[in-house]
Structure 1
Amino acid sequence: MSRQGSAREYAFWAESPGGETLERYRTLVNTVDDGIYQVDAEGHFVAVNDVICEMTGYDRAGLLGESASLLLDSQDIERIEREIHGRLTADREPTERFECTARTATGGTFACEIRLSLLFDGDSFTGTVGVVRDITDRKRTERRLRNREAQLERERNLTDRILETSPVGIMVLDGNGEVTRVNDRGRHLLDIDDIGEFSPSERTAYTEDGRRLSEDEHPPIETVRTGEAISDRVLRVERQEGDQRWLSVSTSPLLTDEGRVDRVVATGEDVTDLKERERRLERRTDELATELSEIYGRITDGFLALDEEWEFTYVNERAAEILGLDENELLGTNIWETFSEKQGTEFEERRWRTVRSS
């Protein structure tokens, strides 16, 4: 059986003929930052250093001869007893340290860490010697870290939920332009299978006037390069499946304290339906304009149209010929400014009668 120490070695305040050596040893034990104690085989304190007294608020006389249960809960005492028994019977690996809660003389508590060694006199177990460290600050720091980690985890979960329920596509790129995250909506809009192999420039995109974007002009890549935000840039994007989508793209850079781009957040809103409605409206407007032009073209008399401000909105060739002016010169001008000589005439009086009766 391995013997970790003898009683003579560890009874560090026992009488000894080596007075000078003992005094040096006592000084060493009392000047370390950790508490040091010795208990006998029944668990009663045989020796304690000054730090143990400072930690617990007891003086040395109040501890010597007392059971360790004065300072420790029964559960911690049982854990230590099981450890001692396991070492004595060699049926378990020794526990390197114990974390316990110790009581003070004033009724307070503090977290501590205990490391212990067994003492023997020959083959007889005589007790233990241990080192006690106050870990209150460490436990407080660990608790703050756990709370902070839990808070960050809640924030991550909230961010995940927001990303995945967002009706717009969201993409995050790092400072090198690598895609690090895309929500489900973004995957769908850009037809992305694997973000690890995806770059925004892989999708061919065109401006509203039909110009194809270069690789560096794709909004997320441009923001990584320039550090400048982009707002509501409408692009026509070709997908892998061969169809096209119109997207309104915005980007926002996240900068480091030094002003370098750390990340870029890009959003894409599907405006395909809106663009199709616009195109239908434009086609219908063109068709109506053509029909109206054909109708006006069949009229052989002079024909003109005025808006509420009495400005010309339409003049056919015959009317321009009668008035002696080019139709393009008349469009958008006020009739009374163009024909000021008609003011005060019967024509103007008929105008006012028409206005009053309408």
Structure 2
Amino acid sequence: MDVSVGGVGELDLATVRAFVAVADEGQFSTAAAALGISQQGVSKRIARLENQLGVALFERIRTGAVPTAAAARFLPHARSLLAVADEAVATLVRQPRPLRVAVLGERHIEMRAMRYYLGRHPERDIEIVLSNAFVTSRDALLAGRVDAAFARAHGGPRALPAHIAAIPVRLDPLHLLVGKDNPLAGRAAVPLAELAGSRVWVPGTSVESEWTDYYRELSRYSGIVIDSTRRAEMFPGVDPGRGPSPMDMILEHIAESDTLATFNAEGFELPWHPHIRRVHVVDPTPAYPHALVWDDTDPHPGLAELVGYFRENYDRATAPGCWIPDSDRALFMSEPG
């Protein structure tokens, strides 16, 4: 299917789909896997679209591909274009589409929560959509790519509009990960106040997002210095397509250091490493506020059951001992109305 665009000619939806896939995945190889075509095929489609639009859409870096400023402007329109096309096809074939739910990644707690839910409700037609640091779950929801998303409901580079509803899902406690030779390695727990002035490496905060905003607020509250150095800067010359995974590289780097530390959420699945020590942070425990958010103006018919399940299973008793930003407190700490 082609779409006519004034001054540009016919936009091929296949090239637009490839563009969105690379923007979402952050790598040509994973975009190719998601589309079911070769990496060379994705590269050709992107090159054709760049030639047609007359702009570069991606900056090729060691860790994959980063959207350019032009791509960032084009991305929401590309998503809308694909959403309209998909809805048109769905209308013609008269098949109800699945409920699309965005999660940040395979290792995150919300993915495990969804697997648990689907394991007990196999009849529910749900499609899980993976997001990433460049296109977050909230971005996917606001662009109309998904019907609901697991994300932080408040904070971030832009506020959610009034028609986005939210319920609390989980407060995920943050622990420190340190190497065996770090002075904190022998301690089971450390008070948050004792970490004032300490430098903690959180590479995911190199991109502006709702979790970057969370760590900014935590830094203001606690005095912890958040180090936003990107993985690519920490590991220069390393080919991201070969060797250990990024998470394995991070753990190895921390394990070899007697000073470096990073935060890790309790619900995040880590690779095992014999020299990594987990130190609990207490009095209070910083926790990341995971919510389920959705567009309340025209919700998917299958959304009510999912919302009801997570609303019923939120453990509000964990909230009093946790620190979260003030903007999230009403949703996570107030009694349900």
Same fold (TM over 0.5): no
> What's the TM-score, normalizing by structure 1?
0.16
> What's the TM-score, normalizing by structure 2?
0.17
Larger radius of gyration: 1
Q: Which has the higher contact order (CA 8 A, sep 6+)?
A: 2
